[in-house]
Structure 1
Amino acid sequence: MSKNRNESVIPYDRNRVILTPIPMKENSTYINASFIEGYDNSEAFIITQDPLENTIGDFWRMISEQSITTLVMISEIGDGPRKCPRYWADDEIQYDHILVKYMQSESCPYYTRREFNVTNCKIDDTIKVTQFQYNGWPTVDGEVPEVCRGIIELVDQALNHHNRDKSIGCKSPLTVHCSLGTDRSSIFVTMCILVQQLRTEKSIDICSTARKIRSQRPRLLNSFAQYEFLHRAIANYADLHKLSTETASSEC
């Protein structure tokens, strides 16, 4: 229980992320993170809670063990129950056998992009991790952004980066985290799936996609405002990318 932010958001056993055990360390295989099926029904995403001070090492172990190269952060840095601790250092820091080295950052209108080198010192294996931290989500619990452009830009940038890595053989899940690993993360993942569906099929089914997402982790897409935001966001996405809005309809 000390590794969970909220006792009502516990990953289901059937699709939780399991870490490699560390000898003589209790509960070392547990992290509050869930595999989420993507458009092609593969384990394309991981949704996880913001790491706690005592789970930052577990968080970076998951990044290393799952070979995650695209990381999306939809939370604010700081102290408090709704804030995320700064889980990286200005230069480098080591957790058990995982060495995390901060490389560089870039500020963009809707997000901050950071790059890290994450090394498993046991096997001398290093992966390059790109983090996209979204800026500007409403601070009031349960609210969604008034405009969709920021989320659209975040989805485009993260998917493009992830797809480039896939094209050279990387099959790791795109990973996203927010406070409890619930509302914000589920909106982002659902948007990614809807974008892939729209571009592939020229039509979308928001209702079925939302139902499928909700079955894979507690408290995902749990308000009408979030569901309505998805309709606005995918319609705006279609307009922005010159895709027919007539095909962007929900079959519910």
Structure 2
Amino acid sequence: MKDTVTDFLTLLYQENCTCVVSFQTSKIKQKKPNVGLYYPADNHILKQGMFQVSCSVKENKDIFTKRLLTITHNDTKGQRSVTHFEFNAWDYTSDVPKSSKDYLDLIKSVDSTLRETSNRGPVLVHCLDGSGKSALFCVVSILLEKMDIYQEVSVVNTIRKVRSRRKSAIPSKEQFEFCHECVLSYVKSFEYSQYANFTTSISSVPDA
């Protein structure tokens, strides 16, 4: 919100966040004028409380915009560099993104950024209510990570664990089904045989 922008920047700075994933697009900001801005236009500087923030666009796709934010603390003269992803392929009136493929591309890009970062810190994910869109990103990211490690996942158990921290996570049947769709799309994206045996079971057996 407009009155908590300084708090938000303080969180990013103090926790040494590596990356921000935002589901507050420009269309949402136009519809919700009380939403605060914590970064400026490209090559400009935003002064907010004890912070100065500069921004440069690194990648601009239809599905997401990738930026580099530089946050300077005025008192200590310390700086933090934060990669910022804004996901554009999700109608704010819908419970789920337009495409599981686009969503997986976002997650892969975030993961690639983290792998390239030497001093890796937390990832901060945010949306208008703190759960509707953010929790789906967290759940799907966990599911894909488990697939890589164990070659199997339980969507239900993963959602339960996230709900133990955020009760309003995955509030609709559409989001529940979208989690399955993302896992299946992820499996089908691989050609090697380690996933071949259970692709059919994922698509035909409901996890409920």
TM-score when normalising by structure 1: 0.71
Is the contact made by 1:110 and 1:135 (CA closer than 8 Å) also made in structure 2?
yes
Return the letter of the residue paired with 2:105.
E
- Corresponding position of 1:115: 68
Q: Please tell me whether residue 162 in structure 1 is matched to residue 114 in structure 2.
A: yes
Show structure 2 runs of 5+ residues with no match: none
Structure 1 distance, partners of 2:184, 2:33, is 30
Return the letter of the residue paired with 1:119.
T
Return the letter of the residue paired with 2:56.
M
Shift of 1:82: 8.8
Shift of 1:146: 4.0
- Corresponding position of 2:143: 194
Q: Please tell me whether residue 183 in structure 1 is matched to residue 135 in structure 2.
A: no
- Corresponding position of 1:242: 191
Q: Please tell me whether residue 68 in structure 1 is matched to residue 17 in structure 2.
A: yes
Aligned pair count?
A: 197
Q: Please tell me whether residue 151 in structure 1 is matched to residue 103 in structure 2.
A: yes
Structure 1 distance, partners of 2:119, 2:147, is 24
Shift of 1:183: 1.5
- Corresponding position of 1:132: 85
Structure 2 distance, partners of 1:189, 1:95, is 29
User: What is the DSSP-based 3-state SS (H/G/I as helix, E as strand, rest coil) of the residue aligned with 1:99?
Assistant: strand
Shift of 1:158: 0.6
Identity %: 21
Is the contact made by 1:72 and 1:131 (CA closer than 8 Å) also made in structure 2?
yes
Larger relative helix fraction: 2
Kindly report the root-mean-square deviation, in angstroms, between the aligned alpha carbons of the 2 structures: 2.1
Shift of 1:85: 4.0
Show structure 1 runs of 5+ residues with no match: 1-51
Structure 1 distance, partners of 2:126, 2:179, is 18
Counterpart among 72, 86, 107 of residue 37 in structure 2: 86
Is the contact made by 2:17 and 2:124 (CA closer than 8 Å) also made in structure 1?
yes
Return the letter of the residue paired with 1:232.
E
Is the contact made by 2:62 and 2:89 (CA closer than 8 Å) also made in structure 1?
no
- Corresponding position of 1:15: none
